[in-house]
Amino acid sequence: MSIPTTSYRTLKHTLAYGVGLVFQRGTNYLLLPLLTTLLSPADYGYYALCFSVTAILVPLFEFAMLTALARFYFDVEADERPHVAFTVLAYLLAHTVVLTAILTLGAWFIGPIISEGPQTRRLLVLAAASACLSTLNNVPLIVLRVQERSSVYALLGAVRGALNLVLVFVFVAVVEFGWEGAIGGDILASCLAAGIGAVAVRKALKGEMRFPILSRMIKFALPIVPMNLAAAAFLSIDPLFIKTLGSMEEVATYAVALRVALILNLVVAAFQTAWPVTLFQMAEFEDAPARIARSTRHALAAMSIVCSALMLLVPELVGILAPSDVYRVSSEAAPLILLGLWVNAGVYMVMSNLHIPKKTGYLPLIYGSGLAVKVALNFAWIPDYGIVGAASATLVGYLAQCAVAIWISRSFYPVPYEVGKLAWLLAATALVCGAARFSYDLSYAPSVLARLGALVLFMASLMITGTVGWSEIRALRGRR
């Protein structure tokens, strides 16, 4: 398997998974104008807080067992794989139900820690239920990933997205249940999608409980749980800090900026879905480090182009997704978050190398170091700079993670990364971020011309510096 073939294989699955993720998560963008119009900024802030708490809870509910399933699925013979999948499903059913019950009963005591007010207890109960159903919904999806059934994965994503769109619209616009209705519709959609997904992979789940396998997977997963928790907290704790150091209205404006930036994550998450399987396959070759280095540059270059385009479209995206003038300030924070998410994509690729020598125990250190930097900067910058301070702290935190990840990864699985080309990718993307932010202050026509010029110069610089070569593009196209 040549390097262009490897990159093409990753690209093919990334596109297929991307379709599923667009349908699954893209409905949130269709609903955003509705929610920001029908809900007050304070109520939309509560909605955003609930999603933040859910995102923090999900790693505790999943307990890294989905990662363990992807890792151990190929360590057993084909006839043993249904037992691995069933063991994970059975464990997660018990684990999530117990955890949901504990959090529901404890909501009376835990709620005031998150935020004051009578709605806080309902927020925590809804967040726990959402995390539970989200975890169970992901089990069939991870099975489809390891089986490389990307088309079925995309179809299930479309079903999940359609259910979410219809149910949230009914609960918010028709029944008028407010922000609680928006969360409730999402929970019900996850429940129905989990059932449909279980039917789609029923043959792969026809196994028996294997406690020796479960013990090995838990041992593998334990170091990953803090890492996943830190990764989720990276973006999800910002609304909590802003609520504490600012106001609920600022929570709402930051949530819109984050939602705009997370459009990039539709691409990043699709790639991250396809990358682990491809990485483990590349690891079997003698020239694996060279393959990984080349594929890393290809992927980061593609995501950099998408990131730059989104930075230049931020004002229009904010205007479409949140028509109210209250949310115009979101444009100031979104480019910084976008740049941070692109850096995070690189962090993920470097950290993934540690799975090959099974040195996952260092992953919490990588994520924890960046999170510590971010938390400290949140306290320092949010009181003075508001949502821009939170976005800046996110970017610097991801850069700190990247530095630590490279340092640790080189010790256990050296990869000959093309440092010069990757450094230019970072510099060029950062320059686009600055140019985009400058152009927002211009009148409309000069702003559009400035942004188009920045994009053209960015693309030209990638070709001139050899960061992306025509020969490589032709090689990838030749694999179609």
Task: Name the nearest CA neighbour of 293 among 391, 406, 374.
Answer: 406
Q: What residue spans of 313-362 are helical by DSSP H?
A: 314-321, 334-352
Q: What is the DSSP string of 10-50?
A: HHHHHHHHHHHHHHHHHHHHHHHHHHHHHS-HHHHHHHHHH
Residue type (1 letter), 310 = L
Write down the pLDDT at residue 54: 93
Of the chain, the end-to-end C-alpha distance in Å amounts to 14
Q: From the CA atom positions of the chain, what is the Rg in Å? A: 22
> What distance in Å separates the CA atoms of residue 472 and residue 474, rounded to the nearest whole number?
5
Write down the pLDDT at residue 265: 81
Residue 126: Cβ within 10 Å count: 25
Q: Where are the beta strands (DSSP E) in 260-415?
A: none
With 0.75 as the threshold, say if the pTM is over it: yes
Low pLDDT (below 70) residues in the chain: 1-25, 110-118, 468-480
Residue 309: Cβ within 10 Å count: 17
Write down the pLDDT at residue 434: 84
Contact status, residue 234 vs residue 370, Cβ threshold 8 Å: yes
The residue count for the chain: 480
Q: For residue 74, give both structure tokens.
A: 């190929």
Distances (CA, A) of 33 to 158, 256, 292, 376: 20, 10, 41, 33
Write down the pLDDT at residue 435: 82
Residue type (1 letter), 193 = A
Contact status, residue 393 vs residue 378, Cβ threshold 8 Å: yes
Write down the pLDDT at residue 17: 59
The string of pLDDT tens digits covering residues 195-220 is 998 888 888 888 888 888 899 889 88
Write down the pLDDT at residue 28: 78
> What distance in Å separates the CA atoms of residue 5 and residue 317, rounded to the nearest whole number?
35
> What distance in Å separates the CA atoms of residue 368 and residue 373, rounded to the nearest whole number?
9
Element (H, E) at 226: helix 224-245
> What distance in Å separates the CA atoms of residue 303 and residue 309, rounded to the nearest whole number?
10
> What distance in Å separates the CA atoms of residue 280 and residue 146, rounded to the nearest whole number?
11
**Residue 117, phi-psi category: left (phi > 0), alpha (psi -120 to 50), beta (remainder):** left
Write down the pLDDT at residue 159: 86
Write down the pLDDT at residue 147: 77
Contact status, residue 282 vs residue 418, Cβ threshold 8 Å: no
Write down the pLDDT at residue 403: 92
> What distance in Å separates the CA atoms of residue 176 and residue 160, rounded to the nearest whole number?
22
Contact status, residue 47 vs residue 36, Cβ threshold 8 Å: no
Contact status, residue 30 vs residue 164, Cβ threshold 8 Å: no
Distances (CA, A) of 429 to 68, 292, 325, 339, 361: 34, 22, 28, 7, 32
> What distance in Å separates the CA atoms of residue 302 and residue 291, rounded to the nearest whole number?
17
Write down the pLDDT at residue 108: 73
Q: Give the list of residues 6+ apart from residue 162 with CB closer than 8 angstroms, or none.
A: 23, 27
CA 188 to chain centre: 22
> What distance in Å separates the CA atoms of residue 395 and residue 347, rounded to the nearest whole number?
12
Q: Give the list of residues 6+ apart from residue 29 with CB closer than 8 angstroms, or none.
A: 259, 263, 321
Q: For residue 85, give both structure tokens.
A: 């999948």
CA 141 to chain centre: 15
> What distance in Å separates the CA atoms of residue 225 and residue 59, rounded to the nearest whole number?
6
